[in-house]
Amino acid sequence: MEEDDDNKSGLNYQDNSNFEKALLKGVRNVFLLWIISQKKIHGYGIISKLNESISSLSNKKVIHGSTVYPILHSLEKEGLIKSSMELNGKNEVKMYEITDEGIMMLNSLKQCIKSKPHNDYLISFMDDMMFNEKTFNLKGGDVG
């Protein structure tokens, strides 16, 4: 059977954890930027929030500092966030906060998404996956 163009990634869609990881990887920079936009936060706090979000999907903590810190450095290099050292009790920690450029980036992305026609596939996909309670049926009948 010939592999179609939409499944060249080699992901096994029966394995939800691999699909969830791939989906998260595609949006993680924006998600990290959004987390930082909520309040000034340190790296461990970001990692905790990410793992909290992911564990609700797959019961696994899959995000580590080795994944997050390079993204934070990249976002800082791009001018979307800035960091400063602050005291947290007796320890000094690096805190991250969004910059004006980061806010403009999030606003641009939000406007781009909202300006799409309601029949656009991306909007339909997001609506179906996040807000629609129906389940998908197998071609041969219902799953349960």
- pLDDT tens for residues 42-57? 999 999 988 887 776 6
pTM of the model: 0.65
Evaluate whether 81 touches 72 at the Cβ level (below 8 Å).
yes
Q: Which residues of 92-115 are buried (b: 16+ CB within 10 A; e: fewer)?
A: ebebbebbeebeebbeeeeeeeee
What is the per-residue pLDDT across 54-84, written as a single tens digit (0 to 9) for each?
776 666 667 889 889 999 999 999 999 999 9
**At residue 89, what are phi and psi to the nearest 5 degrees?**
70, -120
Structure token digits, residue 78: 């791009």
Residue 6 has pLDDT above 80, yes or no: no
pLDDT value of residue 60: 64
Amino acid at 135: T
pLDDT value of residue 136: 80
Residue 20 has pLDDT above 80, yes or no: no
**At residue 4, what are phi and psi to the nearest 5 degrees?**
-80, 160
